[in-house]
Amino acid sequence: MVHNTKKPPFPRRERIKVRVENSGVNGEQFINFVTKYRNIKFPRLEFKSGELEAIMPNGKDPSGLVQKYMNWIRRKQEFIISCLEAAKKLETVKRKKEQLELLVDKTLKRYSMDFGLQVNKVFYRKMRTKWASCSSKQNLTINTMMRHLPKRQIEYILYHELVHMIEKKHNDRFWKLIRKKFKNHEKLEMSLFSYWFLLNSPQVTAGNDALME
């Protein structure tokens, strides 16, 4: 496969054959992915909408990259499948927008006292890629879809965003603060992916912490 075009074509869907040892029929496996060409130096792989995307520098062949990261791809695919499986058993909550706002207000008050910080403004809107995000001005943006989540998940998202106002990165310090209140944060994050699949399918984004800033 040679891509010698200088100008990137539109995203292309490819089905590539990759040799994986000890798997499938004759040790061969098919991987479906979309190739997008950009004016970048380094290629990368992403899972967007539950689908694998190879973001390539113009004119570069993606098959080597896909082969190299085969293990990573399989891990992600398994994660997505298990989230979809778990989503079947989940139930969404019926909550009005006003009820969500009330719960958010109450929870933020409680948690911000713990940290001795003040949230500036809270915005509500439908977001396509994440549950919530926070800005350096201490503003919080809430995905209105959060109204379908159980209380515990809402509390976790808010706490997560508040911790980001202290520590931007997902580093040791960040997770230490998270564990102070949410020892089972991994389970919660997993369930948030499942809820995302449930509420947004087929428009889903999966990846490491892709759903929260």
Binding interface with Zn ion (CB under 5 A): 212
B/e letters for 99-110, b = 16+ CB within 10 Å, e = fewer, are ebbebbeebbee
| Of residues 45 and 158, the one with the C-beta less far from Zn ion | 158
Q: State the nearest-atom distance from the C-beta of 209 to Zn ion, in Å.
A: 6
Q: Give phi and psi for 51, each to the nearest 5.
A: -125, 145
**What's the closest the beta carbon of residue 168 comes to Zn ion, in angstroms?**
9
Q: Taking phi first (over 0 means left), then psi (-120 to 50 degrees means alpha), and beta for anything else, what does residue 91 get? A: beta
Distance CA 212, CA 66 (A): 26
Three-class DSSP labels, 186-205: HHHHHHHHHHHHHHHCCCCE
Minimum distance, C-beta of residue 140 to Zn ion, in the bound complex (Å): 13
Report the residue number, 74 or 130, with the smaller CB distance to Zn ion. 130
The CB-of-169 to Zn ion minimum distance in angstroms stands at 9
> Measured at CB, which residue is nearest to Zn ion?
212
Which are the contacts of 147, defined by CB distance < 8 A and separation ≥ 6? 93, 95, 96, 97, 99, 100
Q: Which is nearer to Zn ion, 56 or 134 (CB)?
A: 134
CA nearest neighbour of 139 among 114, 110, 108: 108
Angle between helices 172-181 and 151-166 (to 10 degrees): 140
Minimum CB separation of residue 174 from Zn ion in Å reads 7
Cβ proximity to Zn ion, 118 vs 208, nearer residue: 208
What is residue 57's three-state secondary structure?
Answer: strand
Report in angstroms how near the CB of residue 182 gets to Zn ion at its nearest.
Answer: 12
